[in-house]
Structures are given as structure tokens and as C-alpha cells.
Amino acid sequence: MEEVDFARDTIAFVQMFLQMGITNPWFYRAFIGRLYYAAHHLGRRLLAEAGLQPADWRVNVHQRVTQELNQHYVVSGRMSRQAWLALGELCGLRLAADYELQRSIRLRHVNHALALFTRFAQECYHNLEVS
């Protein structure tokens, strides 16, 4: 599944660059953005598996993915509320990284984004029956 491959590549590259000692905040913003979108695409894959067609959505797509995940996965118990809230929090971090250029984005924020992504992605992988 391309969304799973993209998610794995994303976390692998983010961790690789961090281990290389990247400290420029520009990269921190990029890492947070990529982590969010990797999670977003996993969410879209889950919804496609549930019979929805997020590829056809054009308005408020990010919010709709979150809402529909709640309806189709959280309410039914297939995803924990914690994992679902992690996606929402990761989205907020991405908004900060993308729009708040005067705000300091630090390594702590990246590590938090990594934790949020991991929490959400693990439950997505479980639902998609991939390791």
C-alpha cells in the first residue's frame, strides 16, 4: 500500500536526518509537515478500506478525514480515542509549522510530532493488517 510505504519512508527519513544532527528550524518545520501528511494519508487509506472515497473530497478534507475516522473506526472500537486525538494534535502542530513563521519550532516539537505520528500509525497498521 503506497500510504504505508510513504509513512515508513517518512519516519525513516525524519529519524535519519535527526541522527545526522540536523538542527536548522527550517528542517524541523518540514519534518512536522511530512509526518502530518504521512498520517493523513494513512487515515485516508483506512477510510477507503471502510468504503469511503476521500480522493473525491474537495472541501475541508483534513477535518473530514478526522471526523470520518471517528465515525468509522473510533466509535466502533477499531481505533483508540488516543490515537485519533493524536492525529488532530499532529494537524495542529503542522498548522503551526506552516503558518507561524515568527514562532520558534524546536526539536522538542519534532519529537512530540514523532510520538503522535507513531501512536496513530501503529493503530493504522493494525487495522490495515500490516506490520
Partner 1 sequence: MDLRDKVARIIREEMGDCLADLEYRGPYEGEEFTVYIGLRYEPEDLEERNLRMRDRVEELGRYVAMVLDFPKEAIAA
Q: How far is the CB of 121 from partner 1 (least distance, A)?
A: 17
Our CB check for partner 1 shows the closer of 80 and 127 to be 80
In this complex, which beta carbon is closest to partner 1, that of residue 8 or of residue 72? 72
Q: Which residue has the cell 473525491?
A: 56
Q: How far is the CB of 57 from partner 1 (least distance, A)?
A: 13
Residue keyed to cell 505520528: 117
10 or 66, CB closer to partner 1? 66
Rounded Cα gap, residues 18 and 32, in angstroms = 12
Measured from the CB atom, the residue of 14 and 86 that comes closer to partner 1 is 86
Q: What residue ranges bind partner 1 (CB under 8 A)?
A: 60, 62-63, 81-82, 85, 88-89, 91-93, 95-96, 98-100, 103-104, 106, 108-109, 112
Cα–Cα dist 38/57, whole Å: 18
Q: How far is the CB of 42 from partner 1 (least distance, A)?
A: 19
Whole-number Cα distances in Å, 93 to 3, 28, 29, 89, 115: 21, 11, 9, 6, 12
In the complex, what is the shortest distance from the CB of residue 19 to partner 1, in angstroms, rounded to a whole number? 20
CA distances from 41 to 6, 63, 69, 101 (A): 8, 13, 12, 25
C-alpha torsion 103→91→9→130, nearest 10: 160
* Minimal distance, residue 96 CB to partner 1, in Å: 5
**Residue type for 31, please?**
F
Choice between 48 and 88, CB closer to partner 1: 88
